[in-house]
Amino acid sequence: MERIPPWPGRAGRSYPSSYGRSGEEELFAALDLGTNNCRLMVAAQTTGGFRVVDSYSRMVKLGEGLHHTGRLAGPAMERTLDALRICAERVGRRPLKAIRAVATEACRRAENGADFLRRAKAETGFDISIISGREEAGLAVESCASLIHSSRFGAPRNRALLFDIGGGSTEIAWVRVDPFRQTRDLIGYLSLPVGVITLSEQFGHVSPHDPASYAHMVAYTKQALHEFEAIHRIGPEIRRQQTRLIGTSGTVTTLASLVLGLPRYARAAVDGTQLPSVSARKAVRMLHEMGRAGIEAHPCIGPDRATFVLPGCAIFEAIHDMWPIEDIIVADRGLRDGMVLRMIRKAGPTPRHYHRPSVLGPIPFQHSIQATGS
């Protein structure tokens, strides 16, 4: 893994830290620029993990139109730069030990992805690196390590299958687990170029609320999984009851919130729950019955995410059709969590020192924290 530099920011304007430094906590920041969302997390190292100090998420739809043009569109890039400026201001107010920023499928696929990231660095100070599908899967596994090994979910298993349904791709990780040493190794991964944005654009001429069209989405996605199954023979491990299934995505957390009957989304109520597959399937049927208006009005979804809910469910059902594990462990955690854990491990028990970041202004606007499960 490459060296993780301290946050350099941009010269010319600095902010005093608004974070209380009692206890000399070491802070780490992680930024995940995805196809659909821009997410930031600032966390303080604790014994055995970390505590979230600040969290920000905005739906920017960076990959909007990418399926048809192969390029990032102007309005999408402007929305994303607006969100990155807000993120730059937030990290610029804190003394960070280290920061890492990554971009995923949209920038991997787009002809102008690297050009956009150079512009983002010039305008916001973030040095964003495009990571491979393998590293994306590895970070997802890192973020869910405690769930993979948790005794709360029954007897130990020697395999874990993790899926992360994103905006532009779906990452699947097949993991060998040693429950006694509490270790895990990535046996294989699949970066499937099917996400909630790409699927909705690819099938844009049909309505996912139409049963036949929805079934077509499921079949299309499932077909892309056959080769991975043929290589790794996951089915026999499932039949021997040796596999845990872990889902980390807005789709899975939404299904869990519906099953739990939450009046509004609450990460604490969802993360780390065990969702029976029968209940998850019923929640999908519930979404179909709601229709577009009902999905938009639901407090755990809202109008911004309504377009992508059923395409996400189609991907989920394809995965579960292929690998029908009885229960799904739900994880409201992702690349940011994995990056923070890696930075903490890399930092080790070193003497505490701080780098005061700075950002170039003026920042034209501010937004309140939006910590979401999407």
What pTM was estimated for this model as a whole? 0.83
Per-residue tens of pLDDT for the chain, all 374 residues: 333 333 333 333 332 333 344 346 899 999 999 999 999 999 999 887 899 999 999 999 999 999 999 999 999 999 999 999 999 999 998 899 999 999 999 999 999 999 999 999 999 999 999 999 999 999 999 999 999 999 999 999 999 999 999 999 999 999 999 999 999 999 999 999 999 999 989 887 556 678 888 999 999 999 999 999 999 999 999 999 999 999 998 999 999 999 999 999 999 999 999 999 999 999 999 999 998 899 999 999 999 899 999 999 999 999 999 999 999 999 999 999 999 999 999 988 644 544 444 333 322 222 222 233 33
* Alpha carbons 239 and 305: distance in angstroms, whole number: 35
- Beta-sheet strands, E only, within 234-279: 243-247, 274-276
73-106 confidence digits (pLDDT tens): 999 999 999 999 999 999 998 899 999 999 999 9
Confidence (pLDDT) at 197: 93
113-146 confidence digits (pLDDT tens): 999 999 999 999 999 999 999 999 999 999 999 9
Residues paired with residue 30 on neighbouring β-strands, in sequence order: 41, 100
Which residues have CB under 8 Å from 9's CB, separation 6+? 88, 91, 92, 125, 357, 358, 359, 360
SS3 content of the chain, % helix, strand, coil (to 5): 45, 20, 35
Confidence (pLDDT) at 48: 79
Which residues have CB under 8 Å from 176's CB, separation 6+? 158, 159, 184, 185, 186, 187
> Which domains can be identified in the chain, with CATH numbers?
1-132+339-374 (3.30.420.40), 145-330 (3.30.420.150)
Confidence (pLDDT) at 16: 32
Confidence (pLDDT) at 348: 80
Confidence (pLDDT) at 8: 38
Confidence (pLDDT) at 63: 95
